[in-house]
Structure 1
Amino acid sequence: MLAKVILDFGSARMRATTVAIDDPGPLERFLPESGPSTAFIRRGEGFVGLGEAARFETDTLEAADVWWEEISQQIDHDSEMPGEFGVGPLAVGLFTFDPDRSEERSVLTVPQTVIGRRGGRCWMTRLGVSHNDMALPPPRGPVQAPVGSTRIGGSMSEDVWTGIVGEVVSLIRSDEVAKVVLARDLRVRADEPIDLRFLLDRLIENYPMTWAYLVDGMVGATPELLLRRQDGLVTSRVLAGTVWQGSEGHEGRQLAAELARSEKDISEHEFAVTSVAEALAPYCHAMNVPDAPSVLRLPNVMHLATDITGVVGPESGALGLAAALHPSAAVCGTPTHLALDIISELESLDRGRYAGPVGWVGMNGDGEWAIALRGGQVRADSPNDIQLFAGAGIVADSDPQIELAETDAKLVPMLQALGLG
Structure 2
Amino acid sequence: MSSLPAREAPTPSAAPAVIVRTVALDSDEPLLAYLPREAGQDEVVSWVRRGEGLVGWGTALEFSASGTGRFSAAEAWWRSVTTRAVVRDEVGVPGTGLVCFGSFPFADDSDDVARLVVPSTIVGRRDGHAWVTSVTLEPQLLPVGAPSVAGEADAPHGVTFADGSVSPSDYAHAVAEAVKRISSGALDKVVLARDLIATAREPIDPRWVLRRLAERYENTWVFAVAGLLGATPELLVRRDQGLITSRVLAGTIRRTGDDEADLALAASLARSSKDLEEHEYAVRSVAEALAPHCSSMNVPESPFVLHLPNVMHLATDVAAVSADDASSLTLAASLHPSAAVGGTPTERAVELIGELEHMDRGRYAGPVGWMDARGDGAWGIALRSGAFLPDDPTTIRLYAGCGIVAGSDPESEVAESNAKLIPMRDALASD
8 Å CA contact 2:255–2:309 kept in 1: the answer is no
| Aligned-CA RMSD value | 1.8
| Structure 2 CA distance for aligned equivalents of residues 175 and 53 of structure 1 | 50
| Structure 1 CA distance for aligned equivalents of residues 13 and 23 of structure 2 | 23
8 Å CA contact 1:247–1:302 kept in 2: the answer is no
Q: What whole-Å deviation, never above 9, does each CA across 1:173-205 have from its counterpart, x for those lacking one?
A: 000010000000000111111111111110011
Residue in structure 2 matching 1:117, options 125, 130, 135: 125
Residue in structure 2 matching 1:18, options 18, 22, 36: 22
Change in Cα spacing, 1:75 to 1:258, as seen in structure 2 (3 Å) is: same
Structure 1 residues 286-297: aligned runs within 5 Å: 286-297=296-307
Name 1:56's counterpart in structure 2.
Answer: 63
- The answer to whether the aligner puts 1:365 opposite 2:375 as a matched pair is yes
8 Å CA contact 2:35–2:149 kept in 1: the answer is yes
Name 1:256's counterpart in structure 2.
Answer: 266
Name 2:49's counterpart in structure 1.
Answer: 42
Q: What whole-Å deviation, never above 9, does each CA across 1:157-185 have from its counterpart, x for those lacking one?
A: 21121011000000000000100000000
The CA deviation at 1:317 is 0.8
- The answer to whether the aligner puts 1:309 opposite 2:319 as a matched pair is yes
Name 1:74's counterpart in structure 2.
Answer: 84
Name 1:168's counterpart in structure 2.
Answer: 178
The CA deviation at 1:153 is 1.5
| Structure 2 CA distance for aligned equivalents of residues 212 and 295 of structure 1 | 20
| Structure 2 CA distance for aligned equivalents of residues 204 and 12 of structure 1 | 35
Give 4+ residue runs of structure 1 displaced > 6 Å after superposition: 8-12
8 Å CA contact 2:167–2:195 kept in 1: the answer is no
Q: Secondary structure at the match of 1:214?
A: strand
Q: Secondary structure at the match of 1:275?
A: helix
| Equivalent residue letter for 1:16 | V
| Structure 2 CA distance for aligned equivalents of residues 11 and 168 of structure 1 | 45
The CA deviation at 1:50 is 1.8
**TM-score of the superposed pair, with normalisation by structure 1:** 0.95
Change in Cα spacing, 1:260 to 1:11, as seen in structure 2 (3 Å) is: closer
The CA deviation at 1:420 is 8.3
| Equivalent residue letter for 2:124 | G
Q: Secondary structure at the match of 2:145?
A: coil
Structure 1 residues 95-114: aligned runs within 5 Å: 95-100=104-109, 102-114=110-122
**Percent identical residues:** 48
Change in Cα spacing, 1:27 to 1:278, as seen in structure 2 (3 Å) is: same
Q: What whole-Å deviation, never above 9, does each CA across 1:361-380 have from its counterpart, x for those lacking one?
A: 00011000000000111123
8 Å CA contact 1:247–1:301 kept in 2: the answer is no
| Structure 1 CA distance for aligned equivalents of residues 394 and 118 of structure 2 | 27
Q: What whole-Å deviation, never above 9, does each CA across 1:342-396 have from its counterpart, x for those lacking one?
A: 0001110110000000000000110000000001111231111110000000000
| Structure 2 CA distance for aligned equivalents of residues 11 and 270 of structure 1 | 42
Q: Secondary structure at the match of 1:57?
A: strand
Q: Secondary structure at the match of 2:421?
A: helix
Q: Secondary structure at the match of 1:186?
A: strand
| Equivalent residue letter for 2:297 | M
Q: What whole-Å deviation, never above 9, does each CA across 1:47-86 have from its counterpart, x for those lacking one?
A: 111211111101211211111111111112212222x122
| Structure 1 CA distance for aligned equivalents of residues 298 and 257 of structure 2 | 29
The CA deviation at 1:314 is 4.7
The CA deviation at 1:88 is 1.5
| Equivalent residue letter for 1:279 | A
| Structure 1 CA distance for aligned equivalents of residues 94 and 125 of structure 2 | 10
Q: What whole-Å deviation, never above 9, does each CA across 1:270-306 have from its counterpart, x for those lacking one?
A: 0000111111111111111111001100011000000
Deviation larger for 73-82 or 225-234: 73-82
The CA deviation at 1:248 is 4.8
Unaligned 5+ residue runs, structure 1? none
The CA deviation at 1:118 is 0.6
| Structure 2 CA distance for aligned equivalents of residues 11 and 319 of structure 1 | 18
| Structure 1 CA distance for aligned equivalents of residues 313 and 342 of structure 2 | 17
- The answer to whether the aligner puts 1:213 opposite 2:223 as a matched pair is yes
8 Å CA contact 1:179–1:335 kept in 2: the answer is yes
| Equivalent residue letter for 2:212 | R
The CA deviation at 1:15 is 2.3
Change in Cα spacing, 1:154 to 1:393, as seen in structure 2 (3 Å) is: same
| Structure 1 CA distance for aligned equivalents of residues 346 and 63 of structure 2 | 27
| Equivalent residue letter for 1:409 | A
| Equivalent residue letter for 1:2 | S
Change in Cα spacing, 1:409 to 1:47, as seen in structure 2 (3 Å) is: same
The CA deviation at 1:12 is 6.7
| Structure 2 CA distance for aligned equivalents of residues 404 and 353 of structure 1 | 22
| Structure 1 CA distance for aligned equivalents of residues 14 and 336 of structure 2 | 31
8 Å CA contact 1:220–1:373 kept in 2: the answer is yes
Change in Cα spacing, 1:58 to 1:177, as seen in structure 2 (3 Å) is: same
Name 1:406's counterpart in structure 2.
Answer: 416
| Structure 1 CA distance for aligned equivalents of residues 18 and 160 of structure 2 | 46
